[in-house]
Structure 1
Amino acid sequence: MAHVILGLLLLAPQSLYDLIKSFEAGVALFYSASSGSIKRALDGLLDKGLIEVASTEPGGRGKKIYRVTEAGRQEFHRWMTGELSGADLETAALSRLYFLGLLDPTDRVAVLRRIQERTAAHLAQLTALKKRIDTIEVPAEFRDVAVYQRATLDYGISSGQHALTWFGDLADRGEPQAR
């Protein structure tokens, strides 16, 4: 979540309230977060020196506006161009795709290829699991359950095949033009 917040703050300095609204307006398409988790991530970014308070509005509440530091810019770039990590490949891929326009155009295709490679590896794991499962005799009392468990695996494979093709097509097109 910290990297998503860095990306949002690179788009524009924002308050906690603004960040919550930014999550609701777009990031929620691929990443869900509570206001408390956003606040904790903001505090962590502040502690690490990756963001700073740009201004504090006068008044009773003293709303703070946050912005990214140079160290935060470097960390964001490292994350965007680095290996995808975590168990949720779709969230990792879509998080990077959402902010891809913040990178230099020369870095964008390499990020898409990295996503494509990780997707291919994940798809290979699912396909291998399918082959193993196909050799197992399911006891009669579990066959109804197994049908839907297999359908879940089939969905994952189909989704992975689509993602592999989609990210590959995007990378092959090179630098898409803004609409």
Structure 2
Amino acid sequence: MQDKIILGLLLDGDKSSYDLKKSMEASTGFFYNSSQGSIQPALKKLVQNGHVHLTEVRQGGRNKKVYSITEEGGKEFLSWAGEPIALDKPRDPALVKMFFFNYVEDSRKLELIEAYLKEIETVRSTLNMFQQMNREQLGKNQELLNNPKVKSRLDTLEFGSDYYEFLKAWYERYAQKIKEELGS
């Protein structure tokens, strides 16, 4: 999946690995983990496969590696993007941990869930901030609202916001259930 994200971001324009990392953090990073350690091997493979071209440019007295998508890489990406969407099983470490909560004291369960709720709220707040910033920017430019690329990216942002709203509500109910079991 990492290679597809890179190809998609390179369709927007040439980027260094640092630029790719920053782009991912502000976009796909909300729903797909990417680290510099996974970006580099993916880029190397994409270059070897002929899907990405590497150019070294001199910038500020230093060489900078800049990646661009090739025609073959564009075809590969568009072919993948047009394939049916496969339903994956969720890979949620919190659910795995909950599966074995019968081995954890109720008071500790509550601590863990309340800490998790704080993490959820942090991400939810960040997503809401991005949504608000986008609304303000797009309100100034109606043409952007009609741009298919902008629409699809806003849709994923909305999904993320709804997803974290769901998590927050579900874990709040779960925490309440534990409190009731504790008699609090």
Q: Give me the TM-score of the superposition, normalised by structure 1.
A: 0.47
Q: Give me the TM-score of the superposition, normalised by structure 2.
A: 0.46
